[in-house]
Chain A
Amino acid sequence: MWTLYKKEIRSFLGSLIAYIVIGVYLVLTGLFLWFVDGNNVFDLGIASLQVMFDIAPYILIFLVSAITMKSIADEKRLGTLEILTTKPISDISIILAKFTASITLIAFALLLTTVYAYTIQNLSNPIGNVDWGAMLGSYLGLLLLSACYTSIGLFSSSITDNQIVALLSSMVISFFFYSVLSMLGDVSWLDSIGRSLSWFGLEFHYNSISRGVVDTRDVIYFGGFTAVFLGFTQLVFESRKW
């Protein structure tokens, strides 16, 4: 598994996609946080990264999908999946290696934004007057959310040998689970059904963890969500055997 993990990381670094993804993420979050009129840190006058944490889940939908679209679809297209799966390594190890490699890349992108956190801390008055709990909670939330997106991305990549199809289906599924379910909670005629449905959405749990209270139920939800989609991916892997 370690060998495959290393190869995946190397192929990220060898292709432009890793740099583009990290660059785009930093530029977009930076723009929204500091420059876009009306909602930036200076307009709001609050020393928090809330603007970034609000927008990041949407940016990540696109970026995580872009990172994962290649991972299995391309192995299928090239036929190398047959080589991988006839080496002494189990299907689930292949999936986990690809999953951890993608997560590593995203975690790195998230880590780079801690520069913003440092800046905010220095801008606050008095210096250091920042809600660290909420900030750490939000970072953890983003990481867990990325894990969910990655598992969706891998699943989408496994059902096709076309990267564009993988990218689009991953974005649609991710958007559905993050946004659409949570919107249903606001539909008045759906009433309590809508609210129950929104509980299944990612945004509900992300918002909850972003407040800085790490509730085990949320963590279990994110973990379970990721496991379910990785499980689906394995099912697709095994479908060649049916």
Chain B
Amino acid sequence: MSIEVNTLSKIYGKQVAVNNINFQIKTGEIVGFLGPNGAGKSTTMKMITGFIPPSSGGGTVCGLDFVEQSIEVRKIVGYLPENNPLYPEMYIKEYLQFMAGLSQTNDSKVAVKNAIEITRLGPEQHKKIGQLSKGYRQRVGLAQALLHNPKVLILDEPTSGLDPIQVAEMRNVITDLGKEKTVMLSTHIMQEVEAMCERVIMINKGNIVADDNLKELISKHQTSLEEIFKQLTQNVDTI
């Protein structure tokens, strides 16, 4: 089992962001983590990657406890945070070299070269990050997550704000990566999930409302993924 989450909760003051969720992701799966804005997707990912600790519950990544052994977990997880934060004044290679050092890769030069190759950053690799288009910036963010050849990739909205061509390219990159790595990606774009993911976990207001194989989920509800998403995430709001 690659990722295992047990009764995980996060409470901010009185607001419950993530409410007692459980799920498991097997090695080699590409799982779409779906939910409307503010559903708790990012919070869950932040807890797994060790940015914030859970209020209660916990879980493991490749058998390592992500609360107790956070530093060890970070060594095997590649994480692309929401909004893809970067240093605009740094050069791509300089940035990746720096990140490779922080990720404790053995040979940072080779790691940077590989990551540039996988994310197809080649033609732009000598530019400053601030000069790049949004699509290329997103690739730099992804390259940063790949440097230490992590077993697990956690990508928070990897395609948000990209144009359709860039989205398609990003999808291809992620699908390729999914062949050898476990990928958990969050999004609220249904086509993306249909194009990339084998499995779907839907979350709404901190609760998991669906966790199924994509095909089975669609055949069970006899409608499109978008309709299922609407049904499962909106009925809570109707008065």
Instruction: Judge whether B89 and A88 touch: CB under 8 Å.
Output: no
Looking at the complex, which of B98-106, B168-176, B229-237 is the stretch in contact with chain A? B98-106
Interface centre among A3, A14, A90, by most B CB within 10 Å?
A3
**A interface, over-half SS:** helix
Chain A: interface residue count, which band? 20 to 34
Q: Chain B contacts of A10 at CB under 8 A?
A: 94
A77 to B46, CA, bound (A): 18
A84 to B103, CA, bound (A): 10
Q: Is B50 an interface residue (CB 8 A)?
A: yes
Residue interface bits A1-13, CB-to-B below 8 A is 1, else 0: 0111011001100
Q: Is A217 an interface residue (CB 8 A)?
A: no
Residue of A nearest to B12 (CB): A242
Residue interface bits B28-58, CB-to-A below 8 A is 1, else 0: 0000000000000000001001111100000
Q: Is B186 an interface residue (CB 8 A)?
A: no
Q: Is B189 an interface residue (CB 8 A)?
A: no
Q: Is A228 an interface residue (CB 8 A)?
A: no
A87 to B144, CA, bound (A): 11
Q: Chain A contacts of B144 at CB under 8 A?
A: 83
Instruction: Judge whether A87 and B89 touch: CB under 8 Å.
Output: no
Q: Is B62 an interface residue (CB 8 A)?
A: no
Q: Is A188 an interface residue (CB 8 A)?
A: no
Contact of B71 among A6, A78, A90 (CB under 8 A): A90
Interface centre among A2, A7, A10, A240, by most B CB within 10 Å?
A7
Instruction: With A79-B81, A79-B83, A86-B81 as known contacts, state yes or no: A240 contacts B102, CB within 8 Å.
Output: no
Q: How far is the CB of B92 from chain A (nearest CB, A)?
A: 14
Instruction: Judge whether A240 and B52 touch: CB under 8 Å.
Output: yes
Residue of B nearest to A2 (CB): B101
Q: How far is the CB of B209 from chain A (nearest CB, A)?
A: 27
A196 to B98, CA, bound (A): 47
A45 to B51, CA, bound (A): 60
Q: Chain A contacts of B123 at CB under 8 A?
A: none
Instruction: Judge whether A78 and B87 touch: CB under 8 Å.
Output: yes
Residue interface bits A23-39, CB-to-B below 8 A is 1, else 0: 00000000000000000
A196 to B164, CA, bound (A): 69
Q: How far is the CB of A75 from chain B (nearest CB, A)?
A: 9
Contact of A3 among B49, B50, B87, B101 (CB under 8 A): B101
Q: Chain B contacts of A114 at CB under 8 A?
A: none
Contacts beyond the supplied A14-B89, A83-B144: 5 A-B pairs with Cβ under 8 Å: A3-B98, A3-B102, A78-B87, A86-B77, A88-B75
Chain B positions within 8 Å of A, measured between CB atoms, are 46, 49-53, 71-72, 74-75, 77, 79, 81, 83, 85-90, 94, 98-99, 101-104, 144
